[in-house]
Structure 1
């Protein structure tokens, strides 16, 4: 059984709108929700963006069943001892619904602007490896173990595709996520994930009942055509077939990113037609 997450960058949306979409996703059969982690909206520094752990905490408190996480938190933004404590706290408060998604950082411009982290990508990955080892220690009963210990398992989600990152995936990750812009490389990269379960991020131009397919495709491509293979457009039948093809390649979780910014109507129909359609079809 595959899992469905709503990928919802917390950019340009009021907190109330994010809560509405999260609750709609929960009611529509999604298993979880994931946010981004940036100090400025990537490529749009004048746009508003909410802090990642704060918004995740609020959404966990505003939902009942939905798992909450990120694609992904930036390692450089938080000391690992603080992040380990935050993760345990949110996991306990949500009844085990928090997952720790973590990466080395993907937007050097904001690191330079806010004087945080390192510009050298190799150094960032090396630091992530050290911090992952520390987080595991902080969660353990060893000398550095923090109190309280995790009450629930806290799944670790790592993104990335380079050899050094994939080594960290094999060593630490419960889930490996492939970014949408590289989804066409899934067959070549999947083996490098080792025993980690596989998820993919996917932008969707969803043609709802009554929509003009050409219009949906035009708007979706105008907004997100730069994602290349990361954008797929289609109606429910076409999307069920598409996601079934990914599931056949060991993908067990989909982070669905909507080209219409997750309009509640799209979430409701997607749940009824695509999520249920793939479940019944399999």
Structure 2
């Protein structure tokens, strides 16, 4: 999408009462590398300054792309500019080919997870606004200062993933939110204890049909576009609400939806008016 389309859909989501809009962070689209894609931070900043209440974030920012001190500065700055509406989604980089093709890192998953853990420690230390000395395995800081501080003193940290070995222990240790990906949405009740005290959000590709007559067409579009993702929820508003309700009962407080029509104003309004009330 171009920025005008992204902005229009974000504003429609805000008007419908959505909490947040989330963007991806890649150097090129993983499944379509020849297609144009705007920088993740630029898009979030543009949307933040063009909205008033909508929170903005990424699911997820690749930790390997940015030095922790620079990330702390960027996050605090966008939080201040947006009036406290920035949510920091982080991951250790799950598209290994992207990291090697662009010369970012050849480190394996366990090392990248260690670096993410240190990054979060550094972020929280720097967001105090006080001088920071940090001696880690991967990063060293001396008398580092990050000002201004975030509006509320810190930015909520969201970590996405469902791996029991690397990701969920990091969620329990360091995250404010655990974002359960669509591939693991059917195991949210099973995995929830491993996320510790983190609040829970869930991703889903969603095919939302405005009527029974349109149901089959919408379901087919959703399956064609997002069927390979896992966790597809598709049907009428009643059917979508019924599919999401068990996750709500299991503790999910936020649903991040990739709609079959990429978040048109019509889908945003329909979800807000007919699905969300059924999940209260």
Q: What TM-score, normalized by structure 2, do the two folds share?
A: 0.91
State the distance in 1 between where 2:131 and 2:107 align.
Answer: 33
Report 1 or 2 for greater relative contact order, CA contacts < 8 Å, sequence distance ≥ 6.
1
Q: Name which of 21, 31, 41 aligns with 2:19.
A: 31
Q: Over residues 229-268 of structure 1, what are the superposed CA-to-partner deviations in whole Å (9 max), with x where a residue is unaligned?
A: x101111111122222211001111001111211222112
Residues 1:71 and 2:73 aligned together: no
Contact 1:77–1:117 (8 Å) recurs in 2:
no
Q: Name which of 70, 74, 94 aligns with 2:82.
A: 94
Q: Name which of 164, 168, 171 aligns with 1:169.
A: 171
State the distance in 2 between where 1:99 and 1:59 align.
Answer: 13
Aligned to 2:273: 272
State the distance in 2 between where 1:256 and 1:265 align.
Answer: 14
1:212 positional shift: 2.2
State the distance in 1 between where 2:31 and 2:225 align.
Answer: 13
Aligned to 1:62: 50
Contact 1:32–1:66 (8 Å) recurs in 2:
yes
Choose 84-93 or 142-151, whichever is displaced more.
142-151
Choose 90-99 or 140-149, whichever is displaced more.
140-149
Aligned to 1:205: 207
State the distance in 2 between where 1:92 and 1:25 align.
Answer: 22
1:141 positional shift: 4.5
Residues 1:107 and 2:108 aligned together: no
SS across alignment from 2:86:
coil
1:119 positional shift: 4.2
Contact 1:118–1:124 (8 Å) recurs in 2:
no
1:168 positional shift: 1.6
- Number of positions where the alignment pairs a residue of Structure 1 with one of Structure 2: 266
Q: Over residues 130-153 of structure 1, what are the superposed CA-to-partner deviations in whole Å (9 max), with x where a residue is unaligned?
A: 111111121124432422222224
State the distance in 2 between where 1:28 and 1:179 align.
Answer: 24
Structure 2 spans left out of the alignment, 5+ residues: 133-144
Contact 1:108–1:119 (8 Å) recurs in 2:
no
State the distance in 2 between where 1:84 and 1:90 align.
Answer: 10
**Residues 151 and 220 of structure 1, relative CA distance in 2, 3 Å threshold:** closer
Equivalent runs, 1:1-282 vs 2, <5 Å = 13-144=1-132, 145-152=145-152, 153-162=154-163, 163-209=165-211, 211-228=213-230, 230-278=231-279, 282=280
Aligned Cα RMSD in Å? 1.4
Q: What TM-score, normalized by structure 1, do the two folds share?
A: 0.90
1:222 positional shift: 1.6
1:211 positional shift: 4.5
State the distance in 1 between where 2:177 and 2:31 align.
Answer: 28
Structure 1 spans left out of the alignment, 5+ residues: 1-12
**Residues 211 and 91 of structure 1, relative CA distance in 2, 3 Å threshold:** farther
Contact 1:117–1:124 (8 Å) recurs in 2:
no
State the distance in 2 between where 1:190 and 1:199 align.
Answer: 11
State the distance in 1 between where 2:269 and 2:224 align.
Answer: 24
